[in-house]
Chains A and B, each alone.
Chain A
Amino acid sequence: MAFLLSFVAGSPVEALLPADATAEDAERLTETLGLDEPLHVQYARFLQRAVRGDFGESIKWRGQSAMGIVFERLPMTLQLALTALTFSIVVAVPIGVLSAVHKDGYFDRFGKVIALLGQSLPPFWLGIMLIWFLGVGLGWLPVAGAGSWRHIVMPAIALGWYQVAAIMRLTRSAMLDVLDSEYIKLARMKGVSERSVIWKHALRNALIVPLTYLGIILGAVITRTVVVEVVFGWPGTGTLVMEAVLGRDLPVVNAVLIIFAAIFVVANFLVDILYAVIDPRIRLQ
């Protein structure tokens, strides 16, 4: 990770300058950023500061620390990502479960169509289409910005829809395996109702697989918030990083990168804890 970050940290000065900058400008910038020193010195200093979470002052927003700006925007992004994931799970898990229960039936086929459509919709396009239909056409929801629960509905759907397909498929195949098991037979033998067999005995076991997947895709979901935030003008780190990239504000971009990577690590840790809650076999290890 440090290796890749140093690559970013060592990005050419030209990237930070407007296209019409003179050689003099470049020199001055190089000096102020300390880029005239040997690479390993730069790298060491960068690492030192990165560990402390200090990426220096923002270039675009003078006088503010890069990290500070990022932390200001972070809650909005987390709110969006978590709402979207909740939407994915709430939609995908029941469809996956019912597809498994009614394997090869009409519902299963309906589920397959949903899955294929979900995987094939580019989130940014879905977002624009939602704005067009629900926002402009029907006038149900605000088309951009944040502030109330009604603002988050469309961005959350646009961001969450893409994962529905995969979570649904994984839930379905895991449920098929579990429903075939002896302990499900025993539960039915006890006289447990079919609803309890499916939603309590089977689902709790089947959830482990999509949960693993959740850990894997979290990085991708966080990354995808960028494009969805841009579409809906959601004031999170995504719009921030786009502004920073276009404004050539490298410290802010670096800070966002580090934060996103940290979110990924923390999220995986949380998924591990969640495993232990769901599957007691893991608690021992």
Chain B
Amino acid sequence: MTHSDSDVVLAVENLQTHLYTKRGLVRAVDGVSFDLRSGETLGIVGESGSGKSMTALSLVRLIPRPAARIVGGSVRLDGEEILEKSEAEMRAIRGEQIAMILQDPQSSLNPVFTVGDQIAETFQLQGKQPRGRMRERAIAALREVQVADPENRVSNFPHEMSGGMKQRVVGAIAVARRPRVLIADEPTTSLDVTIQAQYLRLLRSIQQQTGTSIIFITHDFGIVAKMCDRVAVMYAGRIVEYGPVHSIFATPSHPYTQALIASVPSPDTKVERLESIEGQPPVPWDLPKGCRFAPRCPFVMDRCRADYPPMFATQSAGDGDAEAEHAAACRLLEGES
């Protein structure tokens, strides 16, 4: 899945992050590869524990230490290898080149500093600036994320704001320095539905203004449909399927993707029947040898259990058209291609 295209911002190849737990070694991220292109939104979808958040943290090298370690692979930002950077170089990249929105707005902001100070701090990292100027920039950043009355809000403390507004502030901090890549890790899970929709709209409009690329991490295929250009589906530390959103929804090729999409409640039907997947995700310190979905897969074959299936291009994949590339790691596709 490597591109030599110049519009690739972030190229991830065979990324491996291991967690060392009391129960044993967990291959939290086990050979993940994808490209992020300029201005696009890539969705990473999976259940909790699939390794999607660990993938995101690995990209900025903020994985919990010493429990976790990146053991292999490559992450290149505009062609430069991130995994070989020093800690000081990494700090310059975080916030400036790659920014992140965390899951929980209630706890993402430091309770003892005003939101203005917390936004201003990101600017401060670019070099010392006078106080008044910082305040102005913080107000502008709040206005950008459509916080009403930014002149007064700037001196609020986090506890004086609603959850939705706090998440806007977190967004303002993330896009403040116009990063090339914005990683949003389930940014709306803790918000209620209407605020969720507003927030997603906001993210999209910011993306249009700034041209930033977004990695959108979620477990909700409904949000993927609204937000993303392309999707990567993760299961037990690996990407099992990737492709353009329309193609994945039209012809989901991995049985796991099919089950996930089937479980999205359709807005048309009043009575929703969630087609849940039978069985449990595998215990992370004791993964099956072959395809990790095999124990739960309705179409499982003997060779699925023998070794891990490689990526197969799907029928819907256009000929050599990178934009339309659609592949899945499933033996069912073996004969087709």
Do A's and B's CB atoms come within 8 Å in the complex? yes
* Residue pair A188, B94 in contact (C-beta under 8 Å): yes
B121 contacts the other chain (CB 8 A) = yes
CB-CB < 8 A to B109: which residues of A? 183, 186
Bound complex: CA A28 to CA B329 (Å): 105
A190 in contact with B108 (CB, 8 Å)? no
Q: Is the CB of B93 within 8 A of A191?
A: yes
Which residues, 164 to 202 on A, are CB-close (under 8 Å) to B?
181-183, 185-194, 201
- Closest Cβ of chain A to B177, distance in Å, is 9
Segment with Cβ contacts to B, from A64-72, A83-91, A211-219, A273-281: A273-281
B104 within 8 A of A: yes
Q: Does A150 sit at the interface, judged by CB under 8 A?
A: no
A268: chain B residues within 8 A (beta carbon): none
A/B pair count, beta carbons within 8 Å: 73
Contact A185 B62 (CB under 8 A): yes
Most chain B CB inside 10 Å of its own CB: which residue of A181, A187, A205, A284: A187
**Docked-complex contact A205 and B121, CB < 8 angstroms:** no
Q: How large is the interface on B (under 10, 10 to 19, 20 to 34, 35 or more residues)?
A: 20 to 34
Is A186's CB under 8 angstroms from B173's CB?
yes
Q: Are B125 and A279 in contact (CB under 8 A)?
A: no
* Interchain CB contact (< 8 A) of B102 among A189, A193, A201: A189
Q: Is the interface of A mostly helix, strand, loop or mixed?
A: helix
Chain A contact residue count (CB 8 A cutoff): 21
A189 touches B107 (CB 8 A): no
| Contacting residues, chain B, for A186 (C-beta < 8 A) | 100, 102, 108-110, 170, 173
A49 at interface by CB-CB < 8 Å: no
Are A183 and B110 in contact (CB-based, < 8 A)?
A: yes
Cβ proximity bits B85-115 to A, threshold 8 Å, 1 near / 0 not: 0010001111110011011100111111110
The residues of B that contact A109 with a CB separation of less than 8 Å are none
Evaluate contact between B62 and A190: CB separation under 8 angstroms.
Answer: no
Q: Nearest chain-A residue to B57 (Cβ)?
A: A185
Cα A205 to Cα B159 in complex, Å, equals: 14
Q: Chain A residues near B157 (CB, 8 Å)?
A: 280-281
B245 → chain A closest CB, angstroms: 27
Q: In the docked arrangement, what's the CA distance between A247 and B157, Å?
A: 57
B152-166: CB near A (< 8 Å → 1, else 0) gives 000001011000000
B121 and A192 contacting across the interface, CB-CB below 8 Å = yes
A181 and B64 alpha carbons, distance in the complex (Å): 12
Task: State whether B111 touches A182 (Cβ < 8 A).
Answer: no
Q: A192 and B110: CB pair below 8 A? A: no
CA distance A205 to B93 in the complex (A): 27
Q: Please, how many angstroms separate the alpha-carbon atoms of A279 and B121 in the complex?
A: 19
B102, chain A: closest CB distance, angstroms: 5
A181 to B107, CA, bound (A): 7
Determine if B62 and A188 form an interchain contact, defined as CB atoms under 8 angstroms apart: yes
Given A182-B107, A204-B112, decide whether A189 and B95 contact each other with a Cβ distance below 8 A.
yes
Whole-angstrom CA separation of A192 from B112 in the bound complex: 16
Name the B residues within 8 Å of A191 (CB-CB).
91-96, 122, 125
Contact of B60 with A by CB under 8 A: yes
**CA A194 to CA B90, docked complex, whole Å:** 12
Partner of A190, one of B107, B113, B125: B125
Question: Which residues of B come within 8 Å of A, CB atoms?
Answer: 60, 62, 87, 91-96, 99-100, 102-104, 107-114, 121-122, 125, 157, 159-160, 170, 173
12 residue pairs from A and B, CB less than 8 Å apart: A182-B102, A182-B103, A182-B107, A182-B108, A186-B110, A186-B170, A189-B62, A201-B110, A205-B110, A205-B111, A280-B114, A281-B111
The 3 nearest A-B residue pairs measured at CB: A191-B95, A191-B94, A182-B107
Beyond the given A189-B100, A204-B112, could you list 4 further A-B residue pairs with CB under 8 A, ordered by the A residue number? A183-B110, A187-B110, A281-B159, A284-B160
